[in-house]
A and B are shown apart, each in its own frame.
Chain A
Amino acid sequence: MTRTLTSKMPLPLAVALAGFLGAGAALAEEAPVENGASQVAITLTGDDGGSCVLDYDSAKAGPVTFSVTNETATALTEVELLNENRILGEKENLAPGLPTVSFTVTLGGGDYQVYCPGAGTEQVAFAVTGAPAPKPTGGVTAILAEGTEGYGNYVDGMVDAMVTAVDRLKADIDAGDLDKAKEDYAAARPFYERIESDVEGFIMPGFDVTSNEGNLDYLIDMRESNLDPAVGWHGFHAIERDLFGKGEITDETKDMAAELQTNVTHLAEVAKGLDFMPEDLANGAASLLEEVQSGKISGEEEAFSHYDLVDFAGNVEGAEQAFAFLQPGMEEIDPELTKQVNDQFAKVKVLLEDYRDPNAPGGYVIYTAELRASDAAKLSRAIQSLQEPLSTIAEKVATAQ
C-alpha cells in the first residue's frame, strides 16, 4: 500500500507523512524557532553500526541550536557541524546515558554537513535557507581576523572537551578499572594534540621560566625521552606507563590522575579566550606537523600504549582546522598555495584512512613495531610534503594588507 501511495504522492507530502509516522527520518521542513534560535535535535543510535539522525535537515539563516543525544551508540562519541572543512561547532565525549548537550551557532544561508565520525553514514547534509553569511568587509585582514575568531572558538571547545575527557579518565582510575581507563586514555589524548601548539608554554605563577616545575606542558604531556630528573614524571605519559607498561593502577597512578585533572583544568582556564593573530594559526599548524614528525612517526609519543596514530590524527586535525580558518583569507592572498596545501592535507587524510579502526580505542589501529617498520617512511614523507608549503603561510598572512 505504502509503495503505491507514495509513488503518486507529491514528494513533500510523502516526507511529511513519514515524519508523522514517527520513523525519525529527516524532514524537508525547516526547524522550528524557539527562544530566538532554530532547534535541531541530533540523535545517535547504535543502528546500522552507528547512525546519526537529525529531526530537521534545514533551518532558516540565523542562530541554530543543535541538541545532541546519544541513545545507544557506543561507537559514536562526537558530532561536528562543518562548512568547507571548518568545524563551526561540535560536541565531544558523547556516550549513551549522558544528558543531552547542545551548541548554538549563527549560520548564513548555504550547505553544511553534520559529521559523526565512525557512523555508517558519516556525513548528513544540512541546509540553511535565506541570506548567506555576510562576507566581512575591509579586505583580507578583516577576513583573516574573522577566521582567527572562529579558530578561538574551536580552541575553547577543545579545552572544554579535554577537561571532560580527563575527568572520565580519572574516574576510571579511581574506580581501579584498568580496561576502561585504557580506552578513555585514548579518548582523552587527541584534545591536547589538536591544540598543543596553542597551549604549550604556560608557566605557573611563581616559577622560573627555565624550570620545569611550573611548566604546564611538562606537567601534562612530558615523554620519557625528555624527562627532567629534578622534576620527575607527571601527566598523561606517566599514567600511560602505569596503565600499559606496568598494567596496573596503583595509589601513585591515582595521585597522578588527580594532578592531571588539576593541571588540565588550570590549563583550560588560561587557554580560554586566548587572542590569536593569523600568523599564530599558521605557525601553530606548522608546529603540530613538527610534533607529528618528531614524536608520532617514530612511535616515541605513546611508547607504552602505541596509540601514536590517534595523536597523529589529532595533530593533523588541529593543523587542518587552523588552516581552514585561514583559508577564506588565503584564497584572496594566494589561491594556488591554498590549493596546494589543501591537496596535501587531503593526501594525508586519505593515507590516514588506511589506519582507521572504529573498534580500536581512539579509532585508529595500534602503531606496532612492525607497522612502524613498514609504514613510517611513507607517513613521514606525506607529512614532509605538507610541511613545506604550509610553512610559507605565516609570512603571507602576517603581511597581508
Chain B
Amino acid sequence: MSKDRASTSAKLSRRGLLVGAAASPLAAIALPAAAETRPSEPVDHVNLNMEVPFYGSGGQAGVETPPQRYIHFMTFDLTTVNPRDLQVLLARWSAAIAQMAKGETIGQVEPAREHGIGFDTGEALDLGPASLTVTVGLGPEVFSERLGLAAMKPQFLRELEHLPSDAFLPQFTGGDLSLQACADDPQVAYHAIRDLARIAKDTGAASTRWTVMGFGRASAGRNQATPRNLLGYKDGTRNIAEPEDFDRFVWTRDDPVWGGMGSYQVARKIKMHIENWDVDRVSDQNNVFGRFKVSGAPLTGTDEFDTPDFGKTDAEGNHVIPRTSHISLAAHENNDGIKILRRSYNYTEGINEVGLLSAGLLFISYQNDPAHFERLQQRLGAADRLNEYISHIGSAIFFVPPAPEEGHYIGQQMFG
C-alpha cells in the first residue's frame, strides 16, 4: 500500500499495511525454491500396526508422541461428588486405554448369550492399533473441596484468565475431565472415545460435555515434516521437538506433590473464516503469518527452517516480517524465551447456520505452567493479524498426570 502520505505527515504508523508491496518481490524469488524438498526433510510413513505403550514411568502417551493423523477430543462433566466414583472411572479408563492401545477389544463384541449386550462396540475390530494414544486430563473442578481432593491440586491448575479476543460459546467451553484420543485411523480414535464415554456413563461419574473430531495433524513432532493448517500454512515449524525442551517447557518436575512428569493441557476451539481467507491476496496472507505459503520460509528467508530475522526492515523502514504477524508475536525470541508444545488438529463440521463452512483448528498445547500459554495468547489475541480470520470459540484447561506403571492407573496417587 502506498497510501501513507497523510499518516506519515501526522506521525502515525499503520499496522503492517505497508509491507505487502515490499514482500511481493521476495515471494517471486522464494517460489522456485519452494518446490524442492529439502534432502534432510523427514518423510512421514503411516504404519497402522504401530503400538504406543500406555503404561510407563514418564509422561502420558500422546504428549511427546509424534502426532498421529487423527484426533477425537472430548471433555466430560463430573456427575458425582464421591471421590470413589472418580477413582473407579480413572481405573477403568486406564485399563481400557491400555488394551485399546494394543489393538485389543475391551470386552466382548458379540456375547454368546442371546440377550447379552456387547461391551466393546466393535467398530475398530481388524483395524489394528494405528498408534492409538488416549491422554487423560483433569480439570480444575476435580480439585475443588467437594471431592475432598483440594490438597492434591497441581500448583498452577486454575481457569485461564480472560484473554483478548476471547469469544467463547458456552457449548465449547470447560469440562472436568478430558480425553485426547489420537490415532492414524480415524475410526480407531472414534472407537476409543465412544467406548470410554460408555464407561463414564456406566460408572455414573461423568457425562459428555463437548467434542471435536480432527484430521490432518496441524503440528509437527520430532522427525515429522511440518503439516499445514486449513489456511494452507505450515504453522508448527518452530514447535518443540528436542527432549531438553520437553524437560524445560513441557513436563512438570515437582508438581503436583504426588508426582512430576505431568503437564498442563490447554484446548481451544478456533473457528476459521474460510471463505474470507480464500479470497485474500497471497501477499496479505504471507504477511498475516510472516511466512511464505508454499515453502514455509519466514519472509526474511528462503528455507522453512531459516531463523526468522524479526529486526530486518525494508528500504522504507518497515519490518519485513510484520510485527503483528502470527510468527512474530508467537516467537520465543519476542516472549522472553517462552515455548509451548503445540499438538493441534484441523477440524470441519459441515456448514454453519449462516451458510459458511464450519471449520478451523482444534488447538492443543502442553506446558508446565498455563501462564506460558496466557503470555503468548495475550499478545496474539490483542494484535495478531490472523485475528481477522479466526475466532477463539472454545476453551478448556486440564492437568495431565504422568503415565501409570502397569498394574496402576492414572491419578492413583491422588486417592491415598
Contact = CB atoms under 8 A, between A and B. Distances in A.
Interface in B359-400: 378-379, 381-383, 387-388, 391
A283 interface: yes
B353 interface: yes
A95 to B, nearest CB: 30
Nearest to A383: B275
B115 interface: no
A397 B226 CA distance: 35
Contacts of A211: 382-383
Interface stretch (A289-297, A333-341, A347-355): A289-297
A274 B7 CA distance: 8
Nearest to A202: B12
Contacts of A394: 281
Interface stretch (A49-57, A74-82, A314-322, A372-380): A372-380
B146 interface: no
Interface string B274-292: 0110011100100000000
A230 interface: yes
Contacts of A387: 275-276, 279
Contacts of A13: none
B112 interface: no
A275 B2 contact: yes
Interface residues on chain A, size class = 35 or more
Contacts of B387: 226
A294 to B, nearest CB: 5
Interface stretch (B130-138, B159-167, B259-267): B159-167
Interface stretch (A85-93, A245-253, A265-273): A265-273
A274 B15 contact: no
A113 interface: no
A346 to B, nearest CB: 19
B12 A204 contact: yes
Contact of B323 (A210, A293, A381, A391): A210
B390 to A, nearest CB: 10
Contacts of A202: 7, 12, 14
A384 B6 contact: no
Contact of A275 (B3, B273, B378, B381): B3
Given A226-B164, A277-B3, 5 more contacts: A225-B391, A229-B163, A280-B2, A380-B354, A387-B275
Interface of A: 198, 201-205, 209-212, 215, 225-231, 269-277, 280, 283, 286, 290, 293-294, 297-298, 372-373, 376-381, 384, 387-388, 390-391, 394-395
9 contacts: A205-B10, A205-B11, A209-B323, A226-B167, A229-B162, A271-B6, A274-B3, A274-B5, A376-B354
Closest 3 CB pairs of A and B: A377-B355, A391-B279, A225-B167
